[in-house]
Copies of this chain bind each other. A is one copy, B any other.
Amino acid sequence: MSMRRVAQELDTGPASLYAHVSSKEELLELVYDRVLGEIRLPEPDPARWKEQLRAYALEMHLVLGSHRDVARAALATIPTGANSVRAGEFVYRLLLEAGMAPREASLAMDRLILYVIGDAYEGSLHHGRMRAAGIDDPGEYFENFVGQIAAYYRALPRDRFPYLTKHIDDLIADDGEQRFYYGLDLFLDGLEARLSKP
């Protein structure tokens, strides 16, 4: 996304955008909030906090995957939009009602959001690379990507890198989706463990 391209889409010049927005960063934050609005929030149910938090993370991840710069804008910004606050209240409430102390719930919310955005941002970088390479099919791109890693690892000297060279198949077994799930569930299980023995 470039200011000049946005302006072009609106049949105007880039300077005109600055009558409505003070910078590209501000525009991206507005887009971010609008994108968050696409997430449907269920009625919070403390008994199912883990399930609901997981569903929220998956939806947010999906919705952020749409555009590269949005995920970056979501990092290190003050979440100030209406939808952002709405989502924040939902997540925070769920953690509190699950039994977490306010301060720990704050930390947990912060880290969950960072994880989702971080993974989405990495995904969008991959997406950009895919387009740059002229590949259309994500599966084909993934094959290509891990294939290069595998080839490189296979060429490493076994005596100096015994562990990496021995388990190449395991290193490339899981795709991006499975990696995201693994980290998400590790996180949620970790929260649950802290709840049961504080």
Contacts and interface: CB of A to CB of B under 8 A. Distances in A.
Interface string A164-177: 10010011111000
A161 B93 CA distance: 9
Interface stretch (A35-43, A56-64, A99-107): A99-107
Given A89-B161, A107-B179, A183-B111, A102 B167 contact: yes
Interface string A87-131: 011001100100000110111101100110111011101100100
A76 B127 CA distance: 10
Interface residues of A, number: 57
Copies of this protein in the complex: 2
A198 interface: no
A193 interface: yes
B183 A191 contact: no
Contact of A186 (B72, B118, B161, B187): B187
Contact of A174 (B103, B145, B162, B172): B103
Given A118-B121, A187-B186, A190-B190, A152 B102 contact: no
A163 B193 CA distance: 23
A21 interface: no
A7 interface: no
Contacts of A102: 167, 170
Nearest to A180: B111
A22 interface: no
Contacts of A119: 114, 118
A139 to B, nearest CB: 17
Q: Which 4 A-B pairs have the closest CB atoms?
A: A118-B118, A76-B125, A102-B170, A190-B190
Interface of A: 72, 75-76, 78, 80, 85, 88-89, 92-93, 96, 102-103, 105-108, 110-111, 114-115, 117-119, 121-123, 125-126, 129, 145, 148-149, 152, 156, 160-164, 167, 170-174, 178-179, 182-183, 186-187, 189-191, 193-194
